[in-house]
């Protein structure tokens, strides 16, 4: 370890100007990105009702995008103020791997040589990490492709099927049920449920073509739409209470009128 610089020594006076400038530069970085921003992530469906708040720390605001950026900055300031880092000092990283990127950034900022001795960061020394990374990229590619080519039930297309539903189910003259059928199409219900061949079955959601034949009643349907997890504990179905009582009654009437094709 180098001894602290005696700033009263005339030999060291020329180096004091460099240290002052180095401290100014590193401190300026602190003014630029001192805080790690917190981004609130809204939760869907019933999770939002549990009073849980989720926040993500946005480390990308730092120039290095590293969560150790502020630590590295503090280390450099400490070394500068104590005389351990001077003009031309070689900075050696021999401990934390994740700090090296930020330390290299500050070393470059001050024009100092930087040596990283942590050889395990070499790709050839990390076969497991490389395989995991490759599998992750592959999985993301496959999921992205499937998402791009998947045929989803678009609301306008689903609404076009409502007259056919009404005719097959026999509720064409029931204005409340027809209105509920349109709400069913507009609310994205067919993204999880199927109805007379329309839609897709996700997360184990049942077909609702003959929901009314189960004799549950309109009030049961309203209660279920308001709070699915209250009626069926553990249900992943989101709440539709924001649609309002009138619309919930229309949806419930539609479901009860759906007793299977005539």
18 shares its domain with 94: yes
Residue 19: C-alpha distances to residues 23, 66, 79 (Å): 6, 25, 10
Q: At which of 117, 145, 176 does a domain end? A: 117
Q: What is the per-residue pLDDT for 2?
A: 47
**How many beta carbons lie within 10 A of that of residue 33, not counting itself?**
17
Does residue 135 lie in a domain region? no
pLDDT > 60? residue 144: yes
Distance of CA 238 to CAs 21, 189, 249, Å?
57, 10, 17
**Phi-psi group of 46: left, alpha or beta (phi > 0 → left; psi -120 to 50 → alpha; rest → beta):** alpha
Q: Quick check: 98 pLDDT over 80?
A: no
Phi then psi for 253, rounded to 5 degrees?
-65, -40
The tally of domains found in the chain comes to 2
Query: Does residue 99 sit in the same domain as residue 160?
Result: no
| Helix/strand/coil for 114 | strand
Shared-domain flag, residues 87 and 169: no
> Are 85 and 159 within one domain?
no
Note whether 161 and 101 are same-domain residues: no
**Confidence grade of residue 60 (pLDDT, cut at 50, 70, 90):** confident
Residue 188, phi-psi category: left (phi > 0), alpha (psi -120 to 50), beta (remainder) = left
Residue 2 falls within a domain, yes or no? no
Indicate which CATH number applies to the domain containing 97.
Answer: 3.40.50
Q: Would you say residue 214 lies in a domain?
A: yes
The CATH number given to whatever domain includes residue 231 is: 1.10.760.10
Q: Do 255 and 213 contact (CB within 8 A), yes or no?
A: no
Banded model confidence at residue 14, pLDDT cuts 50, 70, 90 = low
Residues 164 and 230 in one domain: yes
Residue 95 within a domain: yes
232 and 174 belong to one structural domain: yes
Note the pLDDT tens digit of each residue in 185-229. Answer: 988 888 889 999 888 776 678 999 999 999 999 999 999 999 998
Report d(CA 33, CA 180) in Å as an integer.
Answer: 52
Residue 146 included in any domain: no
Q: Is residue 27 part of a domain?
A: yes
224 vs 128, higher pLDDT: 224
Helix ranges (H only) for the chain are: 13-32, 69-81, 100-109, 127-149, 155-159, 162-169, 175-186, 218-226, 228-231, 245-257
Average pLDDT on 157-180 reads 93
Task: For 102-120, write each residue's pLDDT tens digit.
Answer: 899 999 999 999 988 776 5
249/159 same-domain check: yes
List the one residue out of 49, 41, 40, 53 whose CA is nearest residue 242: 49
Range of the domain at 42: 10-117
160 and 101, same domain (yes or no): no
**Within a domain: residue 164?**
yes
What is the H or E stretch that residue 92 is in? strand 91-93
Considering the domain boundaries, does residue 3 fall inside one?
no
Query: What average pLDDT does range 175-180 have in this prediction?
Result: 95
């Amino acid at each position: 370890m180098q001894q602290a610089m005696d700033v009263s020594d005339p030999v060291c006076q020329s180096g004091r100007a460099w240290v002052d400038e180095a401290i100014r530069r590193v401190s300026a970085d602190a003014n630029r990105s001192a805080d790690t921003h917190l981004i609130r992530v809204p939760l869907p469906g019933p999770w939002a009702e549990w009073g849980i708040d989720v926040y993500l720390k946005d480390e990308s605001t730092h120039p290095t995008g590293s969560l150790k950026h502020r630590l590295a900055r503090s280390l450099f300031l400490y070394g500068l103020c104590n005389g351990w880092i001077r003009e031309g000092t070689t900075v050696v990283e021999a401990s934390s791997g994740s700090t090296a990127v930020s330390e290299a950034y500050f070393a470059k900022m001050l024009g100092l040589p930087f040596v990283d001795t942590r050889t395990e960061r070499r790709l050839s020394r990390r076969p497991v990490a490389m395989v995991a990374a490759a599998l992750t990229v592959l999985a993301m590619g496959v999921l992205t492709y499937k998402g791009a080519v998947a045929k989803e039930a678009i609301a306008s297309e689903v609404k076009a099927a409502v007259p056919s539903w009404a005719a097959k189910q026999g509720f064409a003259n029931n204005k409340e049920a027809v209105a509920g059928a349109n709400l069913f199409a507009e609310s994205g219900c067919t993204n999880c449920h199927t109805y007379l061949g329309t839609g897709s079955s996700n997360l184990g959601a049942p077909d609702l073509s003959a929901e009314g034949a189960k004799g549950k009643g309109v009030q049961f349907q309203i209660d279920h739409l308001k709070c699915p997890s209250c009626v069926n504990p553990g249900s992943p179905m989101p709440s539709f209470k924001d649609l309002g009582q009138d619309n919930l009654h229309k949806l419930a009437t539609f479901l009860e009128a759906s007793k299977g094709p005539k």
